[in-house]
Structure 1
């Protein structure tokens, strides 16, 4: 699949006249020739292609319907990119921030348009004739993550972006709270198994009891995955953009790695499409090879401490998809891609519990202790 656009989905249209006036005199291009298309991927923020004559921009705004306080902060994301772009060129350059909600219904920002291939569930035709495409793509993914974690947060003025001390404990508390609120919203719908069967609270308790100290303090993307990369159509080993900086902060880099491994090893991606790129597909790096490459690029020895981060990765993704499903169930969005997400959240919790159970009574490093939830 490419990063091409599609017509705007019904119900997600932009008010063109108000948008024209908000852009007039503030960006290059022919504002009167404004046309809008939509990027079809993604489950959270809405992303559009704006054409102003020959000039193109990407517009990002929060999803429709109520959003949690502090979430989907477009102004924060744009200010963040202003600092990251010089230090990490694969981060797109922001162009304009509009915080006036009256223009399109929420704050938004424009960034430069990057072009390339977005690989979601299968290897696209552009790479069919390249026998080493799966391996080159795998290397590009993990090398970009290593580059992200190598950004000097002090030189880039990013250390104040978050509070790295105690980051892991706050991750567990924050995601547990979000999970419980989404679960409560669905308590009478029958979409989730009963708590004793779901074992979600056991997963939370294990994460709380085994929280390690931070392995390091770096930039953390917080949603690093393959389809947030754009790749050169002629070379899957070259990244042209890293996208979706909404949740970026400063914290433990292994939180990123744990979530990346979650996506990489899932048989189905959010929405239910079979995952034909990743650890289970021929030619791609296995989970262990991906970890070994990360260790090589970062000079960090992380293998022994990864189980906690992978359980957290599965839990975080379960929270994300359940929050989206709760919005869908409440009628705040009608996107049919969201219909299977409750089942996927259930699977992710089950997979997190399976990984916990595999730990048995073993002891880990970096502050982790094994044990069962007795």
Structure 2
């Protein structure tokens, strides 16, 4: 790496090394007597650590601390997904060990191979500073990786059964609407969000319900595809080293992935402060329209910018739900991570942007 990508473990999120060593003995290569950990500081969901066992390095993922929603942060599911996806989509890291015993870390966790590369968040890495074409190359690599993911033959790979693709879009609206309402109810009376009449969140939900399209196709859906979930080759910004964070992967409409990706891509500032994308980055990155056009060409389909508006509105809404759920945990004292304090305002911005797009439709 041209710059460090890990940091000391945040206070309160340390791992019990003796328990970890005992659970991994005989199951992992490397010198476990020299076990040490650091933490990957990005992300708001699962906790991710660098685990060193002598000269061997692994990435450990576990659920966040405190209560979590039922069915969320399922480490066993993510591990088994990677077992099946890695052989047919090499950008997915190889999983190594799954430990389901909650007595070790307090919740199930797994380890996967460590890959090395650049994660682009707030600025171009120094490794790319002399390359004027780097923004375009990064953009194109991102589009091409998304299209390649959606080209995986889910039937040949035995992956269709990981989701229920028929009726996927309708269930997306229903499920995310319920999560939004539950998170909003937890904050009732707090003043953290405007009223529904002012914010138009109920109107956004009603519009999504009234305009839900049939699935455009049935493919793998990553469900959190964004630039800083990609790891790039330090020597070549046109090459993807890894695609990370597979916890929400399923089978459904690929345009749901595209809509959420465009949500991130067109935001001035993303949760966590990322500014890379069409709206928040220097010139040279693909515009929204160019992004959609390249994706359509890679997929061999007709796709106009107006064809993805419903998916973008859904993307804004889903991301609003995710950040509001995290903020609700923070507000309830279930986590003390100060990075979560601004997330109610981020959720509000996302809902307002979703409504702006809805209101602009004929």
Question: Same-fold call, TM > 0.5?
Answer: yes
Any unmatched runs of 5+ in structure 2?
none
Q: Is the 8 A contact 2:264 2:277 kept in 1?
A: no
Give the equivalent residue in structure 1 for 2:204. Answer: 203
Change (3 A) 1:113 1:163: same
Residue 38 in 1 paired to residue 46 in 2? no
Residue 351 in 1 paired to residue 349 in 2? no
Any unmatched runs of 5+ in structure 1?
361-374
Displacement of 1:133 in angstroms is 0.3
Give the equivalent residue in structure 1 for 2:301. Answer: 300
Distance in 1, Cα, partners of 2:303 & 2:35: 49
Change (3 A) 1:285 1:333: same
Displacement of 1:121 in angstroms is 2.0
Map 1:1-374; keep pairs closer than 5 Å.
Answer: 4-271=5-272, 273=273, 275-280=275-280, 281-303=282-304, 304-360=306-362
Q: Is the 8 A contact 1:84 1:91 kept in 2?
A: yes
Q: Is the 8 A contact 1:62 1:107 kept in 2?
A: yes
Cα deviation per residue 1:257-286 (whole Å; 9 max; x = unaligned)? 000000000001113x26144345301000
Q: Is the 8 A contact 2:316 2:354 kept in 1?
A: yes
Cα deviation per residue 1:310-354 (whole Å; 9 max; x = unaligned)? 000000000011011111111111111111100010010000000
Give the equivalent residue in structure 2 for 1:363. Answer: none
Distance in 1, Cα, partners of 2:33 & 2:360: 60
Q: Is the 8 A contact 2:121 2:274 kept in 1?
A: no
SS state of the match for residue 157, structure 1? coil
Displacement of 1:302 in angstroms is 2.4
Q: Is the 8 A contact 2:268 2:279 kept in 1?
A: no
Superposition CA RMSD, Å: 1.1
SS state of the match for residue 285, structure 1? coil
SS state of the match for residue 194, structure 2? coil
Q: Is the 8 A contact 2:63 2:108 kept in 1?
A: yes
SS state of the match for residue 237, structure 1? strand
Displacement of 1:189 in angstroms is 1.1
Q: Is the 8 A contact 2:266 2:277 kept in 1?
A: no
Cα deviation per residue 1:118-151 (whole Å; 9 max; x = unaligned)? 0112212111100100000000111000010000
Q: Is the 8 A contact 1:60 1:74 kept in 2?
A: yes
Change (3 A) 1:219 1:2: farther
Distance in 2, Cα, partners of 1:268 & 1:321: 13
Displacement of 1:3 in angstroms is 6.5
TM-score w.r.t. structure 1 length? 0.94
Cα deviation per residue 1:98-127 (whole Å; 9 max; x = unaligned)? 000000010000000011000112212111
Distance in 2, Cα, partners of 1:2 & 1:41: 14
Distance in 2, Cα, partners of 1:66 & 1:274: 27
Cα deviation per residue 1:130-185 (whole Å; 9 max; x = unaligned)? 01000000001110000100001011110000000000000000000110010000
